[in-house]
Amino acid sequence: MPPLVLVLNGPNLNLLGTREPATYGHETLAEVAALCGRSAEQLGLKIEFRQTNHEGELLDWIHGARARCAGIVINPAAWTHTSVAIRDALVASEVPVIEVHLSNVHAREAFRHHSFVSPIAKAVLAGFGSQGYHLALEHFSHLFRGPAQ
């Protein structure tokens, strides 16, 4: 059975394609989900792709990943900069995490420069648009395969 990767998306990402397209691009969340599905299939992974505007729901999904998922790709969106609870849940899950952001958060407002997730993540991808999700899944694919033989 292919390794399962949970792809989680935080608040306002349901508005992709219409919310600030100059910053976040024109792709919809459904298009990002389809890209992730194609990437996972090509890489020999299985994914569950989810989005929520409710922090408690995201926490429940992270808790559920423990001992069930091989990895978590997360775009915590605004919670990146505010939620110790999400950081703590990711640590408690004992699952490797890759943090993804569509925009380059370091080239934006100063309050977006701090992440509670980055210090506990295996990798951080910012500014690659939806390609960041593919790169995260590709990294997990290499990680799960182990060293080349």
Feature table: binding site for substrate: 75, 81, 88, 102-103, 112
Would you call 24 a catalytic residue per the annotation?
A: yes
CA distances, 75 to each of 97, 137, 139 (Å): 10, 13, 16
Catalytic residue among 26, 101, 114, 139: 101
3-state secondary structure the chain: CCCEEEEEECCCHHHCCCCCHHHHCCCCHHHHHHHHHHHHHHHCCEEEEEECCCHHHHHHHHHHHCCCCCEEEEECHHHHHCCHHHHHHHHHHCCCEEEEECCCHHHCCHHHHCCCCHHHCCEEEECCCCHHHHHHHHHHHHHHHCCCC
Would you call 142 a catalytic residue per the annotation?
A: no
Catalytic residues: 24, 101
